[in-house]
Amino acid sequence: MSSTVQPGKEGVASFRTKLFTAMMIIVATLTALGLYFAQRKIMADAGRDLQQNFQAELSSLHDVEELRQAALAEHCRLLAAKPRIHAALEDNALDLLYPSAKDELRDLMEGEEPSQTGPSLHAKFYRFLDGAGAVLSPPNPRDVGPLGPEAEMQLILKKLPETQQIGYIRENADDADEIVDEVVAVPIFSTETGDVISALVVGFEPFELIGKGAGAGRKSGIWLSGYLYLPALSKPAQAALGSEIAKAITNSTSEQNNFTVTLNGAPELLFYKRLNPSSLFPPAYEICVYPLADSMAQLHRLRWQIGGASVLLLLGGLVASRFVAARLAVPVEKLALDSEENREQRKRVETALASTSEKLKRSTRYSADASHQLKSPVTLLRAGLEGLLAREDFKREIYEELSALLHQTHRLNGVIDDLLLLSRMDAGHLQIESEPVNLSQIIEEWLDDLGALPDSPDVKIEKELPVDLYIAGEKRYTSLIVQNLLENARRYNRPDGLIRVTAHRERTEIVLAIGNTGRSIPCDEHEHIFERFHHRSTASDVSSHGLGLNLARNLARLHSGDLRLVRSEKDWTEFEARFPIAAQAPDGAGQTT
């Protein structure tokens, strides 16, 4: 049995696995997509935020520069308008330039100290460029801000600028106290010719980017001609990062960009932007390095969240898949099982049925055939015996013998009739043609007959019958049942015994009880008395062919009723037959309720 069911279960299991796998794939895909997009979004967000921060800082820097440059331009305009400067430049008295400018630029050099809050115009140094763009050496460097020769070399321009130029120079390049200065070259126009006759180059300390909201880890510096000035980093780190930036700058046409770098093992986002676009001075870039730790932490957190959500989703998916699979699988499983089982069962049943029906056919045919084959000789025998009885030339003993034989043929005939009936029932050929049957009347008739029987012992009959109890049945078979029961009641009775017949309605049924005195049926036989050819062990002397109760019960059941032994003890045996009440009493018949 179990081996036949196995394929069905396996099928369901594989269906469940497939369903779960599909769900897993979906959840895994969703998770992967979620992680991918989350990562992209976070990195983009971080990049955008930092970019904005960088741009904001740059724009503030730019504002400061513009302010400074505007101030310087005004300064230089005024300066150029100063008769002494003009005189020095136009009257070929360059040696008098610095002394003349000293007074004019005094406020530039001795301006307010750089404050923490805002930009100042406090210059570190200034130099004039001659007509060829070379630096005019100051007679007294202390007045104009000392500058090393290497630094001074960086001020040289190929030609005098027409507009302001921003540049950056390194001071003390090889020392530990390396600094970068921002220089602004301002052209000086001759008030007489309108030509650029000189340029004033003013050096400032570059403004530090004042970062807000970018976190404490932000580092800013300046990249200049391949060298990175980023004081927050060690010299080797600066050099390494500087070459990295140089690579990025040479590979990119854009003047600003960003890329991720690794500093001290931690990822950081580096922004660079040219500080002096289209300047005559060498290109310089503002460098800002932002730690990505926050973003990384956020990413990490989000990864965990998405991972957790995915696990939950997966678990949910598992449960859901099991549930769905179960929901889907139950009918499928049932179908599979049913189909498997059905096939097997059907096959078995079919074969069994085939053989049974074959057997049945054979047996019923056999019974019928046998009954018919038996009836003819019995009829012949009876006719012969009756013929013999009709003669008057035999001795009295012979008549008695013949009479006994004739009785036996009657009995034999009864057995054959019963067998025929039973075989018809077994073959399913017997059907009740249900109609209202007056049970009371049948009982009365049979009780009348009972007294007329030749070998009837002397028994008393009690009856408690309502008149006209109608049941649904076929009269001849109902009659057979009643006959069988009454005959038994008489047959197994004792002398001076009692037969009590009662009948009453019980809801939709009519209950007929027939009890008789006499030896009771032992308990162990109770369940066998309805079997065919059963003989009561206690009444072997009683003439019985052992088919009556079996036939009666089968007929009662054909009537949709039943027959059972109610009790058999202490000189009282009682059977009870139930019949369905007739739906409708025949016209004119009085109904007793």
Nearer to other proteins, 192 or 350 (CB): 192
Q: Closest by alpha carbon to 542, among 457, 429, 428, 450?
A: 457
* Cβ–Cβ under 8 Å, residues 409 and 382: yes
Q: How far does Cα 269 stand from its chain's mean position?
A: 42
**Helix H or strand E encompassing 381:** helix 293-390
Q: How far is the CB of 84 from other proteins (least distance, A)?
A: 6
| Helix residue spans in 82-218 (DSSP H) | 83-90, 97-104, 106-109, 141-144, 149-153
DSSP summary character for residue 148: -
Helix (H) or strand (E) holding 170: strand 165-171
Q: Strand order in 196-204's β-sheet?
A: 135-136, 125-129, 196-204, 179-189, 165-171
Q: Compare residues 84 and 567 and give the one whose CB is closer to other proteins.
A: 84
Report the candidate in 325, 333, 331 with the shortest Cα–Cα distance to residue 11: 333
Q: What number of CA atoms fall less than 13 Å from residue 424's CA on the CB side?
A: 16
Nearer to other proteins, 99 or 148 (CB): 99
Nearer to other proteins, 99 or 580 (CB): 99
- DSSP code, position 433: -
Question: What's the rounded Cα separation, in Å, for the pair 123 and 145?
Answer: 8
Q: How far is the CB of 283 from other proteins (least distance, A)?
A: 35
User: Smallest distance from the beta carbon of 104 to other proteins, in angstroms?
Assistant: 11
Residue 533 has a CB neighbour count (10 Å cut-off) of 10
Rounded CA separation 389/403 (Å): 7
Cβ-based nearer residue to other proteins, 79 or 503: 79
The full length of the chain comes to: 593
Question: What sign results for the dihedral spanned by CA atoms 482, 484, 485, 491?
Answer: positive
Kindly tell me which of 67 and 94 has the beta carbon lying closer to other proteins: 94
What is the distance between the terminal CA atoms of the chain, rounded to a whole angstrom? 55
> What percent helix, strand, coil does the chain show, rounded to 5?
50, 20, 30
Q: What minimum distance in Å lies between the beta carbon of 288 and other proteins?
A: 45
Query: Smaller CB distance to other proteins: residue 82 or 553?
Result: 82
Quote the least distance from Cβ 197 to other proteins, whole Å.
9
- CB of residue 87 to other proteins, shortest distance in Å: 4
**What residues have CB less than 8 Å from 40, skipping those under 6 apart?**
none
Contact 566, 575 (CB under 8 A): yes
Identity of the residue, 197 or 314, whose beta carbon is nearer to other proteins in the bound complex: 197
Shortest CB 184 distance to other proteins, Å: 24
Work out how close the CB of 142 gets to other proteins at its nearest, in angstroms, rounded to a whole number: 22
CB nearer to other proteins: give 79 or 135: 79
Residues that bind other proteins (CB under 8 A): 81-84, 86-88, 90-93, 96, 100, 190-193, 195
Minimum CB separation from other proteins for residue 149, in Å? 28
**Do the beta carbons of residue 469 and residue 441 sit within 8 Å?**
no
Angstrom CA distances, 197 to 152, 187, 307, stand at: 20, 8, 70
Residue whose CB is less far from other proteins, 12 or 85: 85
Q: Which is nearer to other proteins, 193 or 250 (CB)?
A: 193
Secondary structure of residue 320 in the 3-state scheme: helix
Nearer to other proteins, 85 or 275 (CB): 85
- The secondary structure of residue 417, as a DSSP letter, is H
